[in-house]
């Protein structure tokens, strides 16, 4: 698959992931966050298995990368989705969007820690810009840090832990199809969340009987399009171009989520959030290597041109 095709797919995924922030905000207003996520994730995994069966694809491989799958389940499904839902319920969609915009930098940072990448001046600047941007965007009053909520912390923790799963997905997808891996991740991870939900409050599952058709439509769209299709396509992209480069596209997630929160939830953006958003996007461009690569190419062409003139 050509990179341009992968980039187009990633843009489509970011559209639905961005809108999913708004959908989750609506759903957590009608359902308990953990209970909602457990059913939503399980439905997403079952959807992928049904599609694989209908298209006559393998549902099991002889050499399953179970270690990578379970690592990805723990960090990318159980931790990420449970913390994200709880966080969204306790903060605004705007703040969730801006915090999630830091995901590419966290992925790049872990790549450095795991020695899959190295520190450079550009990445250092990117990290500093990113954390500065997130601080400006989330802290409503810079003088009063009490404006930070537990919801903000849960959302940040959810994307931090999710970043660990990308490397396990990358490794596991070298053995089996990334779509098949996604199916196992979501079904098993969703099952774990259901057990957690039963222990937490089994009676809360009755709330699904009381939601109206509109909320059900949002729930299905979130599970099938944003999660089942979205995660399958994103994991496929990781296999083709790597975790770090795929993560660059999540800044579009920020853009689409802000638009969704403004249009569908009527949430307003203040000046400091505009500034924070700009800093985060700049940090993504600089810190994940996009600008650095362009600068190196320009320097190389400049040197080659100078050598030809001599």
**Model pLDDT, residue 306:** 77
**Model pLDDT, residue 83:** 93
DSSP code of residue 78: I
The phi and psi torsions of 144 (rounded to 5 degrees) equal -115, 100
Dihedral class, residue 60 (left if φ above 0, else alpha if ψ from -120 to 50, else beta): beta
Angle, alpha carbons 251-39-25 (nearest 5°): 45
The residues, ordered by sequence, that sit 6+ positions from 164 with a Cβ below 8 Å of its Cβ are 71, 75, 76, 110
Residues of the chain below pLDDT 50: 144-145
pLDDT by residue (tens digit) across 226-242? 999 998 898 888 888 77
pLDDT by residue (tens digit) across 24-62? 889 989 999 989 999 999 999 999 999 999 989 999 998
Angle, alpha carbons 112-117-119 (nearest 5°): 65
pLDDT > 90 fraction of the chain, expressed in percent and rounded:
37
């Amino acid at each position: 698959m050509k990179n341009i095709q992968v980039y187009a797919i990633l843009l489509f995924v970011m559209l639905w992931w961005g809108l999913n922030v708004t959908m989750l905000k609506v759903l957590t207003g009608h359902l308990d966050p953990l209970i909602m996520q457990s059913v939503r994730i399980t439905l997403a995994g079952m959807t992928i298995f049904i599609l694989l069966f209908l298209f006559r694809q393998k549902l099991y491989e002889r050499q399953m990368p179970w270690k990578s799958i379970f690592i990805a389940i723990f960090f990318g499904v159980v931790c990420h989705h449970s913390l994200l839902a709880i966080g969204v319920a306790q903060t605004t969609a705007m703040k969730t969007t801006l915090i999630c915009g830091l995901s590419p930098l966290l992925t790049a940072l872990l790549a450095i820690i795991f020695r899959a990448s190295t520190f450079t001046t550009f990445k250092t600047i990117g990290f500093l810009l990113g954390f500065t941007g997130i601080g400006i965007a989330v802290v409503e009053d810079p003088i009063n840090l009490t404006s930070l909520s537990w919801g903000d912390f849960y959302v940040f923790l959810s994307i931090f832990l999710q970043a660990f799963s990308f490397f396990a997905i990358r490794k596991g997808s070298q053995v089996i199809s990334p779509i098949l891996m996604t199916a196992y991740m979501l079904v098993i991870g969703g099952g774990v969340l259901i057990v957690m939900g039963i222990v937490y409050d089994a009676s809360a599952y009755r709330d699904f009987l009381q939601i109206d058709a509109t909320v059900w439509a949002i729930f299905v769209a979130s599970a099938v399009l944003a999660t089942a299709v979205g995660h399958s396509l994103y994991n496929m992209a990781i296999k083709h171009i790597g975790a770090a480069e795929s993560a660059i596209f999540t800044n579009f997630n920020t853009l689409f989520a802000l638009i969704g929160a403004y249009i569908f939830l009527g949430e307003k953006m203040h000046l400091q959030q505009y500034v924070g958003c700009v800093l985060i996007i700049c940090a993504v461009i600089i810190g994940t290597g996009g600008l650095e690569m362009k600068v190196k190419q320009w320097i190389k062409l400049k040197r080659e041109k100078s050598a030809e003139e001599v």
